[in-house]
Amino acid sequence: MIMLTETATTEISTLLDREGKQGYGLRIRVVGGGCSGLQYLMGLEKEPKPEDKVFETNGMKVFVDPKSVVFLAGVKVDFVHALNGSGFKIENPNAQSSCGCGKSFN
């Protein structure tokens, strides 16, 4: 299961409204690369692909491909406002280590 905090859901809803994409969902993927070997990619999509796992949290649809779902079990996605920049923060209980950028793990 993937959990979005209320703050993350609000930020995603704002993005959907700003881009005229009401009804879209959030796609989260894990791909090779980044500082620590694997990295997160996020985007907005209208529909899931047939093989996707679909989660719903705080009224937001989340689409995850079968290869990524193994790495994302139990993940919590938050949105943080900080002095050095604002953005999405992913807390992954499956990660052995992560990079300072917060977008890369192993």
Which domain covers residue 74, as residue numbers?
3-94
At 104 the pLDDT is 45
Residue linked to tokens 């992954």: 92
Instruction: Look at 57 and 100; give whichever has higher pLDDT.
Output: 57
Quote the pTM value. 0.84
Element (H, E) at 69: helix 66-72
Residue 30 lies in a domain: yes
pLDDT tens readout for residues 11-51? 999 999 999 999 999 999 998 876 667 888 999 999 999 99
Secondary structure of residue 80 in the 3-state scheme: strand
Do the beta carbons of residue 80 and residue 89 sit within 8 Å? yes
Question: What is the tally of structural domains in the chain?
Answer: 1
CB within 8 A of 31, min separation 6: which ones?
38, 39, 41
Residue 100 lies in a domain: no
pLDDT at 77 over 80: yes
Q: Which CATH number fits the domain that encloses residue 19?
A: 2.60.300.12
Average pLDDT on 81-85 reads 79
Average pLDDT on 44-73 reads 95
DSSP letter assigned to residue 98: B
Residue 20 lies in a domain: yes
At 96 the pLDDT is 66
Burial class (CB within 10 angstroms; exposed 0-12, middle 13-18, buried 19+) of 77: buried
